[in-house]
């Protein structure tokens, strides 16, 4: 029996079509079958079914070979894993929270974020609450949450999502949750597809025949993880499965500054400079939030669910899957030299102390 997530009206009056390496993607729609063309799209305006004869005619969009997300095909009622069935329509956000955060508070935080951003109903929210994360003892919680048992729990959780019919996953992590995301990447094999930019020609046909999910986006918010470890080890593993990695950092993050003093090493969440792997710029978007002031307390560590600019920016990442270079109305790329562009972006906003 297919899961019922309560999506009722799936009609849409607008769509966003993006050209990606493997063909077009359409926000809020999925291909009915593997034979659906990803190189051309035919969009029609069709009238909605009216409630009564006297009601005004309203229109929606119909796309040849594509179905609105959340509506299973007729074949999917018997086989949730059939190509073009319910699997193709299911997306979710997995939120991995940080230290000293009870599950109830994590769910409230995610709920506030989704409500403020008015996220579409076809993207389903989940919270993965690591064991020990609500403990008051930081180092003990860190060790317990990154244990083999916790990693195995996350693997089972992802397998359950896959078996329930989800095809695309967005990982959103905050603070210590960023470190755990990088630890949990050990279990991504045989669960997520290899990113299209990392595949060989032989792997293309292999992944088409496998029932694997796509890791659409990974977002690390003020990640409490060592900078050097991310550069040397974690980035390569994560980039193998995801082409769209975003890091939000803040040079004035007081919580991470204390962590740097105790651990005697730089933290990724305070990094605001370009990062390199094997001599080349990393394939990540590093967003510097140091200048943001609205709805941010003095610790400057946890504000992603309240700051409107940040919420809107995350909406563009998760729903439309825009890279930072495409969000020009909100972000400005830092220049690292004459004619040279880096991976660091700042928000186009004046600090609060600037007044007329």
Sketch the domain layout of the chain as residue ranges.
17-70, 86-347
Q: With a cut of 70, say whether residue 81 has pLDDT above it.
A: no
Q: Which residue has the higher pLDDT, 219 or 297?
A: 219
Average pLDDT over residues 210-217: 89
Contacting residues for 210 by C-beta, under 8 A, at least 6 apart: 193
Q: Which residue has the higher pLDDT, 195 or 31?
A: 195
Instruction: State the maximum Cα–Cα separation within the chain, in Å, rounded to a whole number.
Output: 72
| HEC per residue, 75-119 | HHHCCCCCCCCHHHHEEEEEEECCCCCCHHHHHHHHHHHHHHHCC
163 — pLDDT class (breaks 50, 70, 90): very high
Task: Tell me which H or E stretch contains 17.
Answer: strand 17-20
Residue indicated by tokens 């292999």: 206
Digit-coded pLDDT (tens) for 175-204: 999 999 999 999 999 899 998 777 665 555
6 — pLDDT class (breaks 50, 70, 90): very low
211 — pLDDT class (breaks 50, 70, 90): confident
Give the pair of three-digit tokens for residue 26: 């359409």
3-state secondary structure at position 182: helix
The correct CATH number of 86-347 out of 3.30.360.10, 3.40.50.1820, 1.10.1420.10, 2.40.50.100 is 3.40.50.1820
Residue 51: its pLDDT value, please? 63
Secondary structure (DSSP) of 222-252? S--SBHHHIIIIIHHHHHHH-S-EEEEE-TT
Give the pair of three-digit tokens for residue 135: 């403990």
Q: With a cut of 50, say whether residue 85 has pLDDT above it.
A: no
Handedness of CA 26, 30, 32, 36 (dihedral sign): positive
100: left (phi over 0), alpha (psi -120 to 50) or beta: left
Q: With a cut of 50, say whether residue 4 has pLDDT above it.
A: no
Average pLDDT over residues 158-175: 94
Which range scores top for mean pLDDT: 33-42, 103-112, 343-352? 103-112
Of 347, 232, 247, nearest to 290 by C-alpha is 347
Q: With a cut of 90, say whether residue 260 has pLDDT above it.
A: no
Please work out, in degrees rounded to the nearest 5, the angle formed at the alpha carbon of residue 49 by the alpha carbons of 43 and 54.
Answer: 130
Residue 187: its pLDDT value, please? 94
Average pLDDT over residues 163-175: 94
Phi and psi angles of residue 174, each rounded to the nearest 5 degrees, phi first: -130, 135
For the question of whether the overall pTM of this predicted structure is more than 0.75, the answer is yes
Q: Determine contact, residues 268/247, Cβ cutoff 8 Å.
A: yes
Distance of CA 186 to the CA centre of its chain: 18
């Amino acid at each position: 029996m297919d899961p019922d997530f309560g999506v009722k009206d799936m009609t849409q009056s607008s769509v966003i079509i993006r050209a990606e390496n493997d063909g077009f993607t359409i926000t809020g729609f999925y291909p009915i079958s593997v034979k659906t063309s990803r190189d051309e799209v035919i969009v029609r305006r069709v009238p909605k079914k009216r409630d009564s004869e006297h009601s005004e005619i309203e229109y929606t969009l119909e796309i040849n070979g594509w179905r609105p997300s959340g509506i299973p095909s007729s074949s999917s009622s018997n086989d949730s894993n059939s190509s073009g069935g319910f699997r193709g329509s299911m997306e979710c956000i997995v939120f991995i929270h940080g230290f000293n955060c009870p599950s109830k508070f994590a769910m409230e935080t995610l709920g506030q974020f989704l409500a403020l951003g008015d996220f579409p109903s076809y993207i389903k929210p989940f919270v993965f609450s690591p064991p020990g994360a609500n403990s008051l003892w930081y180092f003990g919680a860190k060790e317990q949450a990154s244990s083999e048992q916790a990693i195995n729990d996350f693997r089972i959780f992802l397998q359950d999502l896959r078996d329930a019919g989800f095809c695309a996953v967005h990982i959103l992590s905050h603070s210590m949750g960023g470190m755990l995301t990088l630890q949990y990447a050990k279990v991504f094999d045989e669960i997520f597809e290899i990113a299209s930019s990392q595949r060989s020609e032989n792997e293309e046909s292999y992944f088409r025949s496998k029932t694997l999910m796509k890791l659409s986006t990974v977002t690390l918010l003020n990640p409490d993880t060592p900078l050097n470890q991310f550069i040397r080890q974690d980035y390569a593993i994560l980039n193998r499965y995801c082409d769209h990695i975003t890091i939000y950092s803040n040079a004035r993050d007081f919580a991470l500054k204390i962590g740097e003093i105790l651990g005697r090493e730089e933290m990724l969440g305070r990094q605001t400079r370009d990062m390199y792997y094997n001599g080349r710029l990393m394939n990540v978007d590093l967003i510097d939030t140091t200048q943001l002031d609205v709805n941010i307390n003095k610790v400057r560590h946890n504000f992603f669910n309240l700051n409107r600019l940040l919420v809107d920016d995350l909406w563009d990442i998760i729903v439309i899957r825009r890279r930072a270079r495409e969000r020009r109305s909100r972000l400005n790329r830092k220049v690292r030299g004459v004619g040279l562009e880096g991976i660091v972006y700042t928000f186009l906003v004046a600090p609060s102390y600037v007044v007329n």
